[in-house]
Amino acid sequence: MSRTPLDTVEHAAATPDVELPWAELGLKKDEYERVVEILGRRPTGAELAMYSVMWSEHCSYKSSKVHLRQFGEKAPQSDALLVGIGENAGVVDVGQGYAVTFKVESHNHPSYVEPYQGAATGVGGIVRDIIAMGARPVAVVDPLRFGAADHPDTKRVLPGVVAGIGGYGNCLGLPNIGGEVVFDACYQGNPLVNAGAIGVMRHEDIHLAKASGAGNKVILYGARTGGDGIGGASILASETFDDAKPSKRPAVQVGDPFQEKLLIECTLEAFAEKLVVGIQDLGAAGLSCATSELASNGSGGMRVTLDDVPLRDSTLSPEEILMSESQERMCAVVEPDKVERFLEICDKWDVIATVIGEVTDGDRLEIFWHGGKIVDVDPRTVAHDGPVYERPYARPDWQDALQADDAGKLPRPATSEELRDQVLKLVASPNQASKKWITSQYDHFVQGNTVLAQPEDSGMIRVDEESGLGVAIATDGNGRYAKLDPYTGAQLALAEAYRNVATTGAKPLAVSDCLNFGSPEDPAVMWQFAEAVRGLADGCLQLGTPVTGGNVSLYNQTGEAAIHPTPVVAVLGVIDDVARRTPVAFQEEGQLIYLLGDTREEFGGSAWSQVVHDHLGGLPPRVDLERERLLAEILISASRDGMIDSAHDLSDGGLVQAVVESALLGGKGARLIVPDGLDAFTLLFSESAGRAIVAVPRSEEVRFNDMCGARGLPATRIGVVDGDTVEIQGEFTLTLAELREAHENTIPSLLA
Amino acid sequence: MARVVVDVMLKPEILDPQGQAVQRALPRLGFEGISDVRQGKRFELEVDGPVDEAALARIHDLAESFLANTVIEDFTVKVEEGAEVAGAAK
Amino acid sequence: MARVVVDVMLKPEILDPQGQAVQRALPRLGFEGISDVRQGKRFELEVDGPVDEAALARIHDLAESFLANTVIEDFTVKVEEGAEVAGAAK
Amino acid sequence: MTARIGVVTFPGSLDDRDTQRAIRIAGAEPVALWHKDKDLKQVDAVVLCGGFSYGDYLRAGAIARFSPVMEPLIDQARAGLPVLGICNGFQILTEAHLLPGAMLGNDHLHFICRDQKLRVENAETSWTTDYSAGQEIHIPLKNMDGRYVADDYTLDQLEAEGRVAFRYVDFNPNGSLRDIAGITNEAGNVVGLMPHPEHAVESLIGTGRTDGLPFFTSILKKLVTA
Ligand SMILES: Nc1ncnc2c1ncn2[C@@H]1O[C@H](COP(=O)(O)OP(=O)(O)O)[C@@H](O)[C@H]1O
Ligand SMILES: [Mg+2]
């Protein structure tokens, strides 16, 4: 209910002494004073609502901004980059006139509170970012992290999250083509639910979030606005600011994927008819964000009449309407003579659409309610001039001891028997086990363009039916590596995603990331963050893959205990003809298995050290990005020229994990010989980076060897595809049936 | 043997896409005069033995901790063909 | 304005895996003495104007043709805080 | 002259473009039909495709069944128009009583996406003549509400009349009674099934098999030779 008198701009100017609940809304004293200074008076309740949400950590990136700048400063020269950081999502040229947009975002905290809806609305949000760029969404991915697999709460959170991601994505008609599932006690209480989406468009269809052209109309369309996710704003809705009683507003947002599917279709139809000047999705901070960003990115100002916003709950106050995070809403800027057609399209799709304002030739964002002006601000000060913190950071004092606790000193299997048991234990461990129970809850086939989906190294989508042009995406992160060394850990995540894309035959082009960390107010966490960003930015520069956008999720911690620093990296690649893609599964008996790259004694942060010794210490594997680039070139050439029939990158779990996966997927075994200079244990379990296995038809062996030799990539023949066992000569033999049982039963027996 | 019914409905302030989909379909079916539809869940529990205060209290706990998600849902517990017993949950 | 409630339950002979999942979870939650659980749907309709016989008959039709699929489901219609009006559909 | 096959788009339909592509690959002409139009544009056959029409919020297919386009479709299907319901389309056909029985939630309560093995039990319907009876095929399956149920009398009748068109083999993915994956009406012109033949028409895509293509070539042959 609105206060009497309405807290208009005039009223605010006339009542400078009214105390506003800025602290309750999460603003610091100096931030509030800055608002007063910007406005030259106290803010109205509505203005305070806008500044407080837009200047929150989530919207303003106030703790992370100073570090994220490196992504721009160190951005590699890339002809492929069409739209970089700062827009809803980055856009990359993939050739033949096509552009691809992609991004990863987090929905961590909401998914802990209400796993199904939290995860579902996470998918909804990232997909709206993609639509807002002008693209048709074509796929989603979902990197997920949970507490210990056998913890009772994991049984609550994981099935709900998976059902929510599936429930939303399946209903939208988006194939789920990749992701991760990682279990670690450090995520207990702070599961990480990251969601990524890819969209495809023609170059000329790229749209940006800006409102230009005085007289153009601002149209809000999609779901009605309810009291979702308002949180602190309810204080502003009380009769007087000081007599604040918490009003009954839901903290959890419920998603409606059906509504979002209609939003996709009607938005794309409006794009196709060139009806849209600028567009913005409504996500965090709802209308506050959409109006201030549209206005500040455009050339003029904007005038909005809040009374015209369609409401689900008629008791909402203007402040609440501005802060509401109701899902499935978009905001478009449309020229006056095209408004009618725009509304017709919305009507065709049964989508509610309302003109709520217009672009003005001033430079102010003005918002009216019941005839009074309740907001009059420079939109740039809301959207872009938020506080920037140089938070103190310091290498934690425990880091040295952690790194000194070398995993190389852990006892190794003494007998072949023990080695065999550890292999079985590894492939059955929750992190290495098959995730089929989870991924079979996702539609991989819808849209009819899925070339590769899980459990392949990267997901791959055909973009053009005629030419076979396709895009690939892989997401990776390893919190254990990053905990040991955040700089290297971030680069290893990048290297792994890059390698996964190349393993399927696609050329890596660009990067998006989701940076999940603990509290930035802890200097140790802030150091992890700073190091990870530096590592990622340096790595992207070296690999020539620009960061096009991403997301930061901080405060993932319970009390003093932060999660492992967890930078999740998504790499997007392009392939000229999807007919040349390389699958993981062994295809034919008799093909030769080659190990590409160097294998060193590297066990720090390894799956083996975790599964067998419950140990985390030492240094993560070394990174050599030049080697990664060379490996990628070889994998891509080999796929293009038909020299290999399957390939699998080596990462956590090492070579044995990869061989077992390729064997089980293909239903064909392998006979391996330990090459000179290596022992069986190191061959099987080392996690040295920059490696892959490939299966080479005998007829291609000479050509393949020549290529590797000429370009200086170590390629070692380690065995042959054969039979229905995995045999390590002189050590042990495991049948595919045994391996399958170990690999595939773990997750269902924990969760089903 | 007695039957206890637990009705679980989304809280009024929470979006109910299911109820809305039904409501929007009504005019097409020629139904008018229904201004709102909400869709929830109904659980019918067959209880062995008498449904006394203690049993009801246990079912109330069950509803609160398991059948309903009280972050977004309210519930009521009643004995069928008996008086309404436990009220809406907070 | 009155509220009419339509309860829709699977026919007894149709397998109800949702109800069974609840029932199977009960021992884990420390609940005993519940011999069967069935899960159905509850619709709350807000009706403009009086809920007379004619209005109820129309809602009965709505339930029969739309809210329930009578191949697999039974339903009941009742006015809230009133007497139970229409019986179960065959 | 080739056959014109309509594909209805309801709000929430997902596989409409994919189905059109499959029709094109088979050599027929896809015609887009819109749920709000009581007009079948004189097509020779119709496919009701997969998706979550109206969010499947009440019951799968329950709201779509009352769409304007269903009026002429129900009439003409009764009069012999070939109609194929895939997944959500099958659900709509049962809700519209063009096919007997009903679809319920999977018995394991999860969405399931897998490459499913089926046996073609009836190779004489309008949509299955390019198969042979008893042939085993792999078709992607992906749904939440795939459990086919009907009373024993109906099931016995379906079996007796050879109207069980497809059965799940090796693994029943949803608890469907008698492993039923798809059925036909008495005349053989209306067929519904849960798996998605339109996602098994290109060797590079999805599971890489083309076992679904005969659905579309069967109907094409029937229509051009008719
Ligand atoms: N939550 C998930 N959603 C979709 N796909 C997943 C998910 N988790 C794992 N996958 C898929 O399973 C496969 C194996 O995962 P992972 O072992 O993490 O791959 P890698 O080690 O190659 O990054 C990959 O294809 C990955 O995309
Ligand atoms: Mg991989």
pLDDT given for residue C81 in this prediction:
66
Residue minimizing CA distance to atom 19 of ligand 1: A457
Task: Verify whether the Cβ–Cβ distance B72 to A117 is below 8 Å.
Answer: yes
CB contact under 8 A, C71 and D102: yes
- Which ligand places an atom closest to the C-alpha of A436? 1
| CA-nearest residue, atom 14 of ligand 1 | A455
Residues D213 and D210: their CA atoms lie apart, in Å, by: 6
Cα end-to-end span (Å), chain A = 47
* Binary contact (D110, A451; C-beta < 8 A): no
Q: Estimate to the nearest angstrom the gap between the alpha carbon of D5 and the chain centroid.
A: 14
Chain C residue with the nearest C-alpha to that of D103? C72
Q: How far is the CA of A459 from the centre of ligand 2 (A)?
A: 10
- At residue B90 the predicted structure's pLDDT band, cuts being 50, 70 and 90, is very low
D144 contacts on A by Cβ (under 8 Å): 170
Mean pLDDT, residues A265-281 taken together:
94
Selection from A281, A273, A280, A290 nearest residue A345 by Cα: A273
pLDDT at A249 (0 to 100): 60
**Would you state the pLDDT for residue A184?**
98
Whose Cα sits closest to atom 13 in ligand 1?
A: A455
Pocket test for ligand 1, best of A180, A181, A443, A691 (most atoms within 8 A of CB): A180
pLDDT in tens, C3-50: 999 999 999 999 999 999 999 888 888 888 899 999 999 999 999 888
Q: Lowest-confidence range among A503-512, A547-556, B79-88?
A: B79-88
Of A251, A312, A350, the CB nearest to B15: A312
Residue A481 confidence class, pLDDT cut points 50, 70, 90: very high
Contacts of B23 in chain D (CB under 8 A): none
Render pLDDT for A337-380 as a digit per residue (tens, 0 to 9): 999 999 999 999 999 999 999 999 989 999 999 999 999 999 99
Q: Does B35 touch chain A (CB under 8 A)?
A: no
Q: How confident is the model at residue D82, as a pLDDT?
A: 98
Which chain A residues are Cβ-neighbours of B24 within 8 angstroms? Answer: 350
| Active-site residue identified among D35, D87, D138, D199 | D87
Segment holding A382, helix H or strand E? helix A379-383
- D173-196 pLDDT, tens digit per residue, is 999 999 999 999 999 999 999 999
Please report the domains of chain C, with CATH numbers, ordered by start residue. Answer: 2-14+40-89 (3.30.1280.10)
Read off the tokens for A744: 């595939």
**Phi, psi dihedral angles at B27 (to 5 degrees):** -55, -40
Nearest CA to ligand 1 atom 2: A179
pLDDT for A344 equals 98
Residue D183, C-beta contacts closer than 8 angstroms, at least 6 positions apart: D99, D100, D101, D148, D158, D163, D164, D165, D191, D192, D193
Counting Cβ atoms within 10 Å, is residue C52 exposed (0-12), middle (13-18) or buried (19+)? exposed
* D165 vs A89, higher pLDDT: D165
CB A542 within 8 A of CB A466: no
Are the beta carbons of B15 and A252 separated by less than 8 Å?
no
Residue A657: pLDDT band (50, 70, 90) is: very high
Task: Please say if the pLDDT value at position A233 is more than 80.
Answer: no
With CA atoms as reference, the chain D residue closest to B27 would be D66
Q: Is the peptide bond before A246 cis (omega within 30 degrees of 0)?
A: no
Instruction: Please answer yes or no on whether C42 and B41 come within 8 Å at the CB atom.
Output: yes
Contacting residues for A120 by C-beta, under 8 A, at least 6 apart: A164, A165, A167, A168, A255, A257
B residues 26..85 contacting D (CB < 8 A) = 28-29, 39
The reported pLDDT for the residue numbered A301 is 92
Å between C47 CA and nearest CA of chain B = 5
| Alpha-carbon gap, residue A309 to A479, rounded angstroms | 43
The tens digit of pLDDT for each residue in A512-523 reads: 999 999 999 999
**A neighbour chains, 3+ CB pairs within 8 Å:** B, D
Burial class (CB in 10 A: 0-12, 13-18, 19+), A436: middle
How does pLDDT run across A201-225, given as a tens digit for each residue?
999 888 877 778 889 999 999 999 9
Identity of the residue in B25, B37, B48 whose CB atom sits nearest the CB atom of C35: B48
Cβ contact (<8 Å) for C17 and D175? yes
Work out whether strand A692-696 and strand C34-47 pair parallel, antiparallel, or are unpaired: unpaired
Q: What's residue B81's pLDDT? A: 65
Q: What is the pLDDT of residue A299?
A: 83
Distance A603 CA to ligand 2 centre (A): 18
Query: What would the pLDDT profile of A381-419 be if each residue is shown by its tens digit?
Result: 999 888 999 999 999 999 999 999 999 999 999 999 999
Distance CA A388, CA D162 (A): 73
Residues 6+ apart with CB under 8 A from D12: A171, A258, A261, A262, D51, D52, D53, D54, D55, D56, D64
The CA–CA distances, whole Å, from A703 to A630, A636, A643, A708 equal 17, 15, 8, 9
D198 is catalytic: yes
Cβ(A311)–Cβ(A225) under 8 Å?
Answer: yes
Which ligand is the nearest neighbour of the Cα of A687?
1
Rounded to an integer, what distance in angstroms lies between the CA atom of residue D127 and that of residue D23? 12
pTM: 0.93
Residue of chain A whose alpha carbon sits nearest to that of D17: A447
Residue A242 pLDDT class (50, 70, 90 cuts): very low
Domain ranges of chain D: 4-225
User: Is A576 marked as binding a ligand?
Assistant: no
Instruction: Give the span between the Cα atoms of B39 and A634, in whole angstroms.
Output: 57
pLDDT digits (tens, 9 = 90+) for A525-547: 999 999 999 999 999 999 999 99
> Tens digit of pLDDT for each residue in A121-161?
999 999 999 999 989 999 999 999 999 999 999 999 999 99
Choose which residue among A104, A437, A439, A503 to substitute to test ligand 1 binding: the one with the highest number of ligand atoms within 8 A of its C-beta: A439
Question: A588-629, pLDDT tens digit by residue?
Answer: 999 999 999 999 999 999 999 999 999 999 999 999 999 999
Q: How far is the CA of A478 from the centre of ligand 2 (A)?
A: 13
A122 contacts A195 by C-beta, under 8 angstroms: yes
pLDDT surpassing 80 at residue A317: yes
Q: Is the pLDDT of residue B19 over 50?
A: yes
- ipTM of the complex in this document: 0.91
Q: How many CB atoms lie within 10 A of CB A667?
A: 11
**pLDDT at position A209, please?**
75
Confidence bin at A460 (pLDDT 50/70/90): very high
Which pLDDT belongs to residue D72?
Answer: 98
Q: State the pLDDT confidence band at A231, using cuts at 50, 70 and 90.
A: low
Question: Cα–Cα distance between A689 and A692 in angstroms, integer?
Answer: 9
**The predicted structure's pLDDT at residue B84:** 39
pLDDT at A608: 98
Query: Is residue A56 a known part of a binding site?
Result: no
CA-angle at D80, arms to D74 and D86, nearest 5°: 60
Instruction: Indicate the CATH number of D4-225 among 3.40.50.300, 3.30.980.10, 3.40.50.880, 1.10.300.10.
Output: 3.40.50.880
Q: Could you tell me the distance, in angstroms and rounded to a whole number, from the CA of residue A181 to the centre of ligand 1?
A: 7
- Of the candidates A227, A254, A258, the beta carbon closest to that of B72 is on A254
Tell the residue number behind the tokens 């796993």, with chain if given.
Answer: A115
| Whole-number Å distance between alpha carbons of A228 and B15 | 9
Among A141, A432, A454, say which to mutate for ligand 1: greatest number of ligand atoms within 8 Å of CB.
A454
Average pLDDT over residues A187-208: 93
Looking at beta carbons, which residues of chain D come within 8 Å of C19?
A: none
**pLDDT tens digit string along A697-716?**
999 999 999 999 999 999 99
Q: Look-up: residue for tokens 């009705």? A: B7
Nearest to A180 by CA among A449, A472, A479, A428: A479
